[in-house]
Amino acid sequence: MTNPRSPTPAPSDHVLHAFVDGRLSTAEATRVRAWLNDHPEAAATVAAWSDQRQALQEHLKATLAEPLSPSMLAAANGLTLRRSTIDLWARWGGRAAAVLLAFLAGWAGHAQWQAASPLADARSPQRFARQALAAHAVYLPESRHPVEVEAAQQEHLVQWLSKRLGRPLRVPQLGGEGFELVGGRLLPAEAGARAQFMFQNGQGERLTLYIGAVGEKSSGSSETAFRFTREGPAASFYWVDQGFGYALAGNLPRERLLALADTVYRQLAGSRSQ
């Protein structure tokens, strides 16, 4: 009597991520591909990981091509990516956050995360803006899980993120501009935590508001000045207010994004004065 063929064991998440990254041998990749053909739900998840990886690669292509200064090169040569850090991101933000960290860490080796210069400060506004755009690129294409907590649980969402960031937060109301809250999520940072709120309009266009501690409090009049940055199709207006950074990112024309950033700033600043 012939025994029925034993079912092929499911690949681990580690193997599936290696498959997405192209790090498996030809034989291993063939086995994984065959298993995915029989498991359409897992195949859809792996396809989403691949899309996120591709989107982030395209988003950070220009940054990764920037030349290194001698001091940055020296620091980059001594920088290693610890697996425990990736695991931390995976616990905080799920697989997409782990993908985000992997690319940010690659850029970190390129741009010297641990250097002492102001531009390499982990809490500098410039770095904050880059991280906001990277997080925007990761979660923008998500259709099934764009947020951790949906807008229907807004009160819980705000309380949770306020507690984790150590400051009362408020969600701006952008309905008058055509954007409604989708929800939000908690994201890790080199020090502390970051919050991301996502908004969407009737045409499916999305905005993300990224919030977190940035540097030291400043008494300068330029602290709240808007600054603009763009990487690929995504752009962001960001500002610092009382030691906290805010970055509104979207794939929108600069003038439209500026008007929305001004609305967000006025609402949040107004809530502190009440």
Instruction: Say how far apart CA 187 and CA 196 lie, in whole Å.
Output: 7
Asked whether the predicted pLDDT for residue 273 surpasses 70, the reply is no
Taking each helix axis from N to C end, the angle separating 13-21 and 26-37, rounded to the nearest 10 degrees, works out to: 110
pLDDT of res. 199:
97
| Position with higher pLDDT, 222 vs 143 | 143
Please state the pTM of the whole predicted model: 0.60
Share of the chain above pLDDT 90, in %: 33
Query: Residues 212-247: pLDDT tens digits?
Result: 988 755 444 446 689 999 888 889 999 998 889 999
Asked whether the predicted pLDDT for residue 88 surpasses 90, the reply is no
Structural domains present in the chain: 130-273 (3.30.200.100)
* 115-123 long-range contacts, CB within 8 A, separation 24+: 115/71, 115/72, 115/75, 117/71, 120/72, 121/215, 122/189, 122/190, 122/191, 123/190, 123/191, 123/213, 123/214, 123/215
Range picked from 188-192, 202-206, 225-229 for highest mean pLDDT: 202-206
Share of the chain above pLDDT 70, in %: 65
pLDDT of res. 2:
47
pLDDT of res. 106:
47
Kindly state the average pLDDT of the residues 145-168: 92
Asked whether the predicted pLDDT for residue 15 surpasses 90, the reply is no
| Position with higher pLDDT, 99 vs 28 | 28
Instruction: Say how far apart CA 83 and CA 87 lie, in whole Å.
Output: 6
Residue 126, burial from CB neighbour count under 10 angstroms (0-12, 13-18, 19+): middle
Instruction: Say how far apart CA 42 and CA 82 lie, in whole Å.
Output: 27
Strand, helix or coil at 11? coil
